[in-house]
Structure 1
Amino acid sequence: MSSIEVRASGKVHTVQVNDNETLLAALRKAGFSVPAACGGRGKCGKCRVKLNGVQRLACKVIPTDGDTVELPEAAGGAILTETVDIAAPKAAQSGIAAAVDLGTTTVAVRIYDLENAAELRTLSAWNAQAAYGGDVISRIRYTMDEPDGLHELSVLIRRQTEDLILTALAECGRDKAELKSVFLAGNTVMQHIFAGLPVRSIATAPFKPETLFEATTGDTLLGAEVNFSPCVAGYVGGDITAGLLASKLCSAGGSSLFLDIGTNGEMAIVSGGRVSCCAVASGPAFEGAGISCGMPALAGAVSHVRYDRGFLYDVIGAVEPVGICGSGLIDLAATLLKLGCIDPGGRLLPPELAPEKVRRYIRPDGQGNGVFYLTENVYLTAADVRSLQLAKAAVAGGVEVLLDRHGIKAGDLSRVCLAGGFGNYIDPKSAMVLGMLPEISPERLRCLGNTSLAGASMAAVDPECRRELRSCAEKCEYIELSGLREFTEAFTDNMTFDITED
């Protein structure tokens, strides 16, 4: 056992380190949240810290006694908590209810006075489990590889949720004893981990979870009853059913497409009284994982890019750019595609083949491709474009399968609803240029904000909404895309880019 000094947020902490324990593991154990999108496998490069004044990957180094570690300052960023309006329930109740959006990347809590359904406070934070991986597969792997992994992750997220609720109560002068219930919506894996249920079965075919949360579990938090949003399958969770409730699509006329492209890509089509849904592996690229300069939507992230006699960009927090988030990545790729810097096959052209007006931004990578430099710190490689191709092909392929199952075309859609932070911040035109979203007119496109939190809020304050939520979940027909020939063909067809005149 050795001892190291950790400097974070202006304070100095002493952390004990076991023999042969990585720095990342020691920091996790001590309660420090260090980003590790790959789950600590040395692939993402996001867990950089200063060890004795030198930048190192925390997951790759074993500290020694007396080492000094300096953690980067926690960067502020935009966590989406905006929702559709919540109607007051018909029957008044007493006490306080909490609604929780349990996302893979973020956690949001909203508390309500049940007497009048008044919103009292909304708080959010980056999910503390990020140190264990940026996606659910990394976290499933951790529960399988570590004997106490499931318990560790469950305790971590429950404590974080408790802290957010207690802080919200304190900020509006209310007492913990007034908390009567908690309604939680998240993807199937996150809800399982919160409840302390095994997630191993979700990672392997037939991807069947322990429960779909159709009934109450008897769980409690801070002495209050916890209810979970019903799930549809292993990768279509309670966040999607809550989103369908909030969007009111299950009772809407016409044909609707619902898309929530977060860390996972989940989608549903509602048409002719039927609801079909599926999930695709799309999110990590859009959340910054697997992209050279990728990062979540934090301060310093390039969020939007455009070209007007030069490349112009917006940066979250109005600070110097240090990386690029999902919305910026979509904009940049679409802009480069329209300028002719990316060919239909997805090749990022070297400077000698790129249009003359943008050659100064491109450098050769030594392998026949180009590297595009938006700034010295923010660049795009051929491998990044490939990752984006895979993600956009998965989303577009999933949409095609759902459309085919309902016997309709994209032009038949009455509305396309984009949910979640990614859907709220991307420029839909850029997504259409890449072929990720179907070409539709602007008046049929709706950005709904955080529908998971909105649906959880509706269910938290209104028993009738809870019944409607379960009815909506029961209507959902899940389509497993793994091994499905139609999806494989659609995915392959959507790997290329269609280049049209701007």
Structure 2
Amino acid sequence: MNLTFFPEGTTIEILPEQTVLEAAQQVGVDIIATCGGKGRCKSCRIKILEGEFSPPTVQEYKELGEHGIQRQFRLACQTTARSDGVVRIVPPVVERFHQILSHTEKLQYPLDPEISKQAIILPELTQEEQTSDFEQLQQQMTSPVDRIDARVLQHLPALLLQNSRHVTCVCWNQCVIALEPGDTVEHLYGVAFDIGTTTVVGYLLNLHTGAEMAIASELNAQALYGGDLMSRISFTRQDPQGLRKLHLRILETLNRLIDALCEDAYIAPQQIYELTIVGNTCMHHLFLNIDPVHLGMAPYLAAIRQRYVVTAAEMGLNIMPQARIVMLPLIAGFVGADTVGVILATGMHKSRDLKLAIDIGTNGEIVLGTSERLLACSTAAGTAFEGAQITHGMRGASGAIDQVVIDDDVHCRVIGDVPAQGICGSGLVDAIAQMLDTGLINPMGRLLAPQEIVRQGKSLPEALERRFASQGRNKHFILLHGEETETGEPIVITQRDIRELQLAKGAIAAGIAMLMQNLHIEPENLHEILLAGAFGNYIAKESAVRIGLIPDISLERIRSVGNAAGLGSQLALLSQEARREADQIAQMTEHVALANNPAFQHTFAKAMAFPDK
């Protein structure tokens, strides 16, 4: 049977026993499956436009509701085709204007990259002189060279002969990794990557000047097989080709970003000689094609923690084949090189002031301490902050509500100033914070009915009262009515959405509380809270405090630090001193294990409640 995806018009073949998701993934049609295709979220929803399909499952009724099923919405992971058909992916994967954070603060280290270039002309020699081409090359170099890559050595005599012994020598850590005809010293570039669970950002840098030449970002294509780390680890267990699929997905993403960077900067990919990469431990392993299965079970050990170097040719990246790929060190099983990058970029390892850094994403990494002692932990915040598991959730892209104000009515700002398609994480946090302030939600997270609010002696403006609705026993609060949205469907906050946010913020807040307990400190002892990553940059600080996501200190002491992990990757690319400090950070930072810790479970249960203003 033939299945067509609207509006792109892509048509694929689908077998009777295949789900729409399985058939799409086999031929490269991208449908996000945050829960890994288990029917536990709405990220793979489609709308049936034509054709006959299998009856809705119990999971679909649970996730989409009677109303959604009646409007022909289905879950791709639960639906099979019984005839030729046409469907629409909702929302489309290729969203416009993704708000992927890429900017960083200024660099702080002396420019001293590990890669270097030198143009040389080797003298002509007579038969009487007992030497070799490589020895001559060593003698001409101004910095020590003690070895040469085998592939370079194989072409050394021919290259010297063809170019009148005038070549440019490319060196990495006293090893000749490339020889180029003539003088190419001017062109020396590297790329710093931050591989996140949800997004990937690359920075193309001039290694002579440290200047940023281009930035490119993209959603992590692995999200098709699961939105969070455990979903992807499970996928490698369940699918015999799972590890290979995830590995190839991230390689394809990096190669596309490299092409985009080179196009923007008008350089050739062969002029890129080094990459540095930060990412959480699971992303680190999947990039290196290491089975992450042990990360999903106690004691959650990584295969390797130290800084690790491979070549571009070994990994299949489309740059200079012998270019070095430097994987920054890891701290622990779920506290990876991205956390090392955050510490390096913010200088926490050098500071005498007590600071708290939080990188909020599907996996929240938290660091607390000073130059004397640093503690770190990781909490599974889930995908609510990314918009997944939320009734009308979506990523921060054009059409997403990203700010909400509630007074006598509801006022929403939409990214791109277009009709709204859904709500992203920062908009969700804003909405819940505002609903708490106006008494629509109580501290335990229950969405109150209008009559309950009035019984508590609070006034409820008529415009807000009209925004309460229900389907059966399920109450919800309308942010935008159907006539104000792109789909014609109202965008709402449901009781379940509130619970999902409570789970996510409770995990982060509990992790923070556990680190503070370990250091025996209170919020007032904090000199500064640093919010890293995309969510930390876009979220309103007052809303984060209001819902209890972060400790309640003065807003002046809460600061967004941009993509600190990405900045750490850049520092390691440009400075050998920064690279050595990254190694020290990984060794000195103490990991506080939260999994299976009864104290954490108790703290998490308490942290799910909202502060009682």
The alignment's TM-score, normalised by the length of structure 2, stands at 0.77
Q: Which residue number corresponds to residue 478 of structure 2?
A: 373
Asked if 1:40 corresponds to 2:37, the answer is: yes
Contact 1:255/1:415 (CA < 8 Å) preserved in 2? yes
Over 3 Å counting, the alpha-carbon distance change for 1:235 and 1:116 in structure 2 is same
Q: Which residue number corresponds to residue 594 of structure 2?
A: 481
Measure, in 2, the Cα distance between the counterparts of 1:17 and 1:225.
42
For 1:392, what is the secondary structure of its paired residue?
A: helix
* Count of paired positions: 496
Q: Which residue number corresponds to residue 142 of structure 1?
A: 235
Residue by residue over 1:196-228, the C-alpha shift from the partner in whole angstroms, topping out at 9 and shown as x without a partner, is 001111111111122224333555433222111
Measure, in 1, the Cα distance between the counterparts of 2:49 and 2:608.
45
Structure 1 residue 414, shift from structure 2 partner: 0.8
Contact 1:99/1:453 (CA < 8 Å) preserved in 2? yes
Residue by residue over 1:376-395, the C-alpha shift from the partner in whole angstroms, topping out at 9 and shown as x without a partner, is 32111112111222222221
**More deviation, 79-88/251-260:** 79-88
Structure 1 residue 456, shift from structure 2 partner: 0.8
Contact 1:351/1:364 (CA < 8 Å) preserved in 2? no
Identity of aligned residues (%): 34
Structure 2 counterparts to residues 419-434 of structure 1, below 5 A: 419-434=532-547
Contact 1:106/1:125 (CA < 8 Å) preserved in 2? yes
Measure, in 2, the Cα distance between the counterparts of 1:318 and 1:63.
37
Q: C-alpha root-mean-square deviation of aligned residues, in Å?
A: 2.0
Structure 1 residue 303, shift from structure 2 partner: 0.6
Q: Which residue number corresponds to residue 166 of structure 2?
A: none
Q: Which amino acid aligns with 1:343?
A: N
Measure, in 1, the Cα distance between the counterparts of 2:5 and 2:340.
42
For 1:317, what is the secondary structure of its paired residue?
A: coil
Measure, in 2, the Cα distance between the counterparts of 1:494 and 1:351.
27
Structure 2 counterparts to residues 335-374 of structure 1, below 5 A: 335-354=434-453, 355-357=459-461, 358-364=464-470, 366-367=472-473, 370-374=475-479
Q: Which residue number corresponds to residue 272 of structure 2?
A: 179
Q: Which residue number corresponds to residue 320 of structure 1?
A: 419
Structure 1 residue 119, shift from structure 2 partner: 1.0
Measure, in 2, the Cα distance between the counterparts of 1:14 and 1:491.
47
Measure, in 2, the Cα distance between the counterparts of 1:470 and 1:86.
18
Structure 1 residue 272, shift from structure 2 partner: 5.6
Contact 2:42/2:389 (CA < 8 Å) preserved in 1? no
Contact 1:99/1:183 (CA < 8 Å) preserved in 2? yes
Contact 1:305/1:331 (CA < 8 Å) preserved in 2? yes
Residue by residue over 1:74-93, the C-alpha shift from the partner in whole angstroms, topping out at 9 and shown as x without a partner, is 21121110111124643474
Measure, in 2, the Cα distance between the counterparts of 1:378 and 1:481.
36
Measure, in 1, the Cα distance between the counterparts of 2:370 and 2:264.
44
Measure, in 1, the Cα distance between the counterparts of 2:365 and 2:587.
17
Structure 1 residue 301, shift from structure 2 partner: 1.2
Measure, in 1, the Cα distance between the counterparts of 2:81 and 2:213.
45
Q: Which residue number corresponds to residue 105 of structure 2?
A: 84
Gaps (5+ residues) in structure 1?
A: none
Q: Which residue number corresponds to residue 270 of structure 1?
A: 369
Which entry has the higher C-alpha Rg, 1 or 2? 2
For 1:438, what is the secondary structure of its paired residue?
A: coil
Residue by residue over 1:109-139, the C-alpha shift from the partner in whole angstroms, topping out at 9 and shown as x without a partner, is 1111111111111011111112111111111
Q: Which residue number corresponds to residue 256 of structure 1?
A: 355
Q: Which residue number corresponds to residue 27 of structure 1?
A: 24
Measure, in 2, the Cα distance between the counterparts of 1:38 and 1:461.
38
Structure 1 residue 492, shift from structure 2 partner: 2.2
Structure 1 residue 498, shift from structure 2 partner: 2.5
Contact 1:217/1:227 (CA < 8 Å) preserved in 2? yes
Structure 1 residue 64, shift from structure 2 partner: 5.5
Contact 1:23/1:62 (CA < 8 Å) preserved in 2? yes
Q: Which residue number corresponds to residue 246 of structure 1?
A: 345
Q: Which residue number corresponds to residue 256 of structure 2?
A: 163
Residue by residue over 1:333-365, the C-alpha shift from the partner in whole angstroms, topping out at 9 and shown as x without a partner, is 111111111112211112221352232221245
Measure, in 1, the Cα distance between the counterparts of 2:423 and 2:262.
35
Measure, in 2, the Cα distance between the counterparts of 1:474 and 1:69.
52
Q: Which amino acid aligns with 1:135?
A: D
Q: Which amino acid aligns with 1:373?
A: I
Gaps (5+ residues) in structure 2?
A: 51-71, 118-187, 454-458, 482-489
Structure 1 residue 325, shift from structure 2 partner: 1.1
Asked if 1:290 corresponds to 2:383, the answer is: no
The alignment's TM-score, normalised by the length of structure 1, stands at 0.94
| Residue number among 477, 483, 495 corresponding to 2:608 in the alignment | 495
